[in-house]
Amino acid sequence: MKAAVTLRAQLLAWYDQNARDLPWRVGPADRAAGVRADPYRVWLSEVMLQQTTVPHATPYFLKFTARWPTVSDLAAAPDEEVMAAWAGLGYYARARNLLACARAVANDHGGVFPDTEAGLLKLPGLGPYTAAAVAAIAFDRPANVVDGNVERVVSRLFAVEQPLPAAKPELKRLAAALVAEDRPGDWAQALMDLGATICRPKAPLCDRCPLADHCAAFATGTPDAWPRKTAKAARPRRHGVAYVLTRGDQVALVRRPPKGLLGGMLALPTSDWRSEPWSEAEAISAAPAPAAWRGVGEVEHVFTHFSLTLRLLRAEGDADGVIWSPRGDLEALPSVFLKAARAGLSNLL
DNA sequence: TAGTCGTGGCA
DNA sequence: TTGCCAAGACT
């Protein structure tokens, strides 16, 4: 199809001039000169970028690659160090699967990543998107790399009326017909760069888009009306208590169970999180240890599928089965508990 | 298959 | 303040 040939050439030419300079990326000029991307760095960046913005993921990528330069280095790292290094990045199952994957590559594949989409898909934490992305970007396989950017670009190109998420299979079919088999890795990155910088969710920059003359949504005059989406359910609120127990300069922490919310991460001791607020008397009765507990305010935190109000109780004392950590060294905590700990420690009501 | 699983920036 | 969203995977 001639239109598809032109579209591919136009987008690749745009990418050659406008590719973002990213620390894990081999740019189009270097790629044309034969430089290969390091599969470890491609994989690590792709996992970190799942549902995560480039500015948020970038410092974590630099920290991880400086500390663990190869997949075998990462495979040899203790669980607690990797979970602590991931703290603040969210979706902590990614960190658990990251380690499982690194160890599988190190132990079962001689420290070398599989070089096919099917082989990559078998590794923990690599789903359809990430397996395709690593196959294309690291190994130049003609994989159909479809993320949220690509879904948006394709839905606009063809003005797909079916709303997301139901439209995902159709958008993937449409994307598959476009894959540039001569430069698969650059094609995947070009489509994602276009989505991230030009074909943005709001206020797309169609006057700078190399594909505008192919775009059905642009032709309607309201391209930001795509992709169509089904309405989301309201976010419920939950209530809990977090206990800030100090012993001199140390704070009592616990290790959360390996699965579920914030699984495997360090945390403040907490009550259950329920739909009804906790009274101060209830909160004290549920405390992890007897002490002179006093209320020191509350913090709000928003998770993907619920909002949390965390009442803060503070006391000086002792408890069994906790991990005493210096109060100035709380970087291993997920954001919700870092926020709660800082608020509880600064609030001397 | 629909629900679960974080975070921070921004309109 | 609230909702939306950003390179999804897993169960």
The pLDDT tens digits for A99-143 are 999 999 999 999 999 999 999 999 999 999 999 999 999 999 999
Residue A48 and residue A89 in contact, taking contact as beta carbons nearer than 8 Å: yes
Find the DSSP H helices in A198-235.
Answer: 216-220
pLDDT per residue over A285-323, tens digit each?
A: 999 999 999 999 999 999 999 999 999 999 999 999 999
Residues 86-125/A with CB < 7 A to strand C:
91, 93, 97, 124-125
Q: What is the mean pLDDT of chain A?
A: 96
CATH number where A63 lies? 1.10.340.30
- Tell whether A232 is covered by a domain: no
- Tell whether A253 is covered by a domain: yes
The pLDDT value recorded for residue A110 is 97
Percentage with pLDDT > 70 across chain A: 99
- Tell whether A264 is covered by a domain: yes
CA A53 to C1' C5, whole Å: 10
| Cα–Cα distance measured from residue A24 to residue A75, given in angstroms and rounded to the nearest whole number | 19
Q: What are the residues with a C-beta under 7 Å from any atom of nucleic chain B?
A: A 51-53, 55-56, 87-93, 202, 260-263, 301-305, 334-336, 339
Q: Do A26 and A150 belong to one domain?
A: yes
Q: Do A177 and A139 belong to one domain?
A: yes
CATH number where A254 lies? 3.90.79.10
pLDDT per residue over A61-102, tens digit each?
A: 999 999 999 999 999 999 999 999 999 999 999 999 999 999
Q: Do A117 and A258 belong to one domain?
A: no
Nearest to A38 by CA among A126, A103, A93, A111: A111
The pLDDT value recorded for residue A15 is 97
Choosing from A179, A202, A225, the residue where a domain stops is A225
Number of domains in chain A: 2
- Tell whether A230 is covered by a domain: no
Choosing from A172, A202, A225, the residue where a domain stops is A225
Average pLDDT over residues A249-253: 97
Nearest to A95 by CA among A119, A69, A74, A114: A74
Amino acid identity of residue A331, one-letter, is E
Amino acid identity of residue A127, one-letter, is G
Q: Do A263 and A175 belong to one domain?
A: no
pLDDT grade for A1, boundaries at 50, 70 and 90: low
**Statement: the CB of A203 is under 7 Å from strand C:** no
Containing structural domain, residue A96: 2-225
Choosing from A186, A205, A225, the residue where a domain stops is A225
Q: Do A26 and A172 belong to one domain?
A: yes
CA A126 to C1' C3, whole Å: 30
Q: Is the pLDDT of residue A349 over 60?
A: no
- Tell whether A207 is covered by a domain: yes
- Please list the residues that pair with A20 across neighbouring strands: none
Q: Do A199 and A241 belong to one domain?
A: no
Strand B nucleotides, any atom under 7 Å to a protein CB: 3-9, 11
Q: Do A194 and A260 belong to one domain?
A: no
The three-state DSSP-derived secondary structure of A153-204 is HHHHHCCCCCCECCCHHHHHHHHHCCCCCCCHHHHHHHHHHHHHHCCCCCCC
pLDDT per residue over A197-240, tens digit each?
A: 999 999 999 999 999 999 999 999 999 999 999 988 889 999 99
The pLDDT value recorded for residue A232 is 86
Q: Do A141 and A281 belong to one domain?
A: no
Average pLDDT over residues A267-271: 97
Q: Do A55 and A149 belong to one domain?
A: yes
| Cα–Cα distance measured from residue A242 to residue A11, given in angstroms and rounded to the nearest whole number | 51
Q: Do A208 and A261 belong to one domain?
A: no
**Statement: the CB of A200 is under 7 Å from strand C:** yes
Catalytic residues of A: 46
Q: Do A90 and A177 belong to one domain?
A: yes
Q: Is the pLDDT of residue A348 over 50?
A: yes
Q: Do A163 and A20 belong to one domain?
A: yes
CA A249 to C1' B2, whole Å: 46
